[in-house]
Amino acid sequence: MESGLSNQGSNLYLHNCRTTAPANLFRIVAGDFDRYVAEGSEQAKLVKRVVKHPRYNHRTTDNDIALFELDDALTYDRYVQVKCK
């Protein structure tokens, strides 16, 4: 799933809820075109906290969205940009 970053220096990332793993097991890589090649454009950040939608229903997957708070802000550049304004 793609992210939705809100503003410059954002440390928020959107994802689905279908996980029970703790936040510290996640790592977000932004600006990566080919995950098998280190291109130099990648920004890797650890996830500090996962906030699931309060009405998420695991049976129907209604409200299947979560907010990932990153340990450090992403820097917008040529490869990492806002998806929606």
CATH number at residue 21: 2.40.10.10
Task: Count up the domains in the chain and report the number.
Answer: 1
Residue 44 DSSP SS3: strand
Task: Tell me which DSSP letter residue 21 carries.
Answer: S
Range of the domain at 47: 12-70
Q: Are 66 and 54 in contact (CB under 8 A)?
A: no
CA–CA distance, 26 with 54 (Å, rounded to integer): 21
pLDDT for the residue numbered 2: 44
Q: Is residue 61 part of a domain?
A: yes
Read off the pLDDT of residues 2-54 as tens digits, 9 standing for 90 and up.
444 444 455 666 667 677 778 888 888 999 989 899 999 999 999 888 888 88
Please count the other Cβ atoms lying within 10 Å of the Cβ belonging to residue 12.
16
Residue 25 DSSP one-character state: G
Question: In this structure, is residue 64 part of a structural domain?
Answer: yes
| pTM value > 0.85 | no
pLDDT of 1 > 80? The answer is: no
Residue 78 in any domain: the answer is no
Instruction: Judge whether 41 lies within some domain.
Output: yes
> 3 lies in a domain?
no
CB-based contact 11:46 (threshold 8 Å): no
When pLDDT is averaged across residues 55-74 and rounded to a whole number, the result is 85
